[in-house]
Amino acid sequence: MPKYLIQASYTREGVEGVRSKGGTSRRDAVAETASSLGGQLEGFYFGFGDHDAYVIIDLPDNEAAAAVALTVNAAGGAAAKTIVLLTPEQVDEAAKRSVDYNPPGT
């Protein structure tokens, strides 16, 4: 199953939600969201810096990941950025593929 990294930055409303309901409530909500799409939560972490939360999630396909992103961003409590994660084996397979490409200026 494809794996995704979601980086979330909370809005003021989102921070208030975390303060009032706790961090575990956010983790549990993300786990329920993943499950509703046939996926599962691998990890949920809060952090300092550019983003407030980092989520690693398994979802059936890119459409499911897009559905999560659309739903989270539309809700207004956080701005989410989704990154497709590749295993080392997937990168090995990509490196073996032949690609026709002409760099600019050639």
CA separation, residue 13 to residues 40, 53, 75 (Å)? 26, 15, 10
Signed CA dihedral, 57, 74, 7, 12: sign only: negative
Task: Decide if pLDDT at 91 tops 90.
Answer: yes
pLDDT value at residue 106: 82
**pLDDT, tens only, 96-105:** 999 999 999 8
pLDDT value at residue 4: 98
Residues 6+ apart with CB under 8 A from 83: 4, 5, 6, 7
**pLDDT, tens only, 17-66:** 999 999 999 999 999 999 999 999 999 999 999 999 999 999 999 999 99
DSSP symbol at 26: H
CA separation, residue 8 to residues 50, 52, 85, 93 (Å)? 9, 6, 16, 30
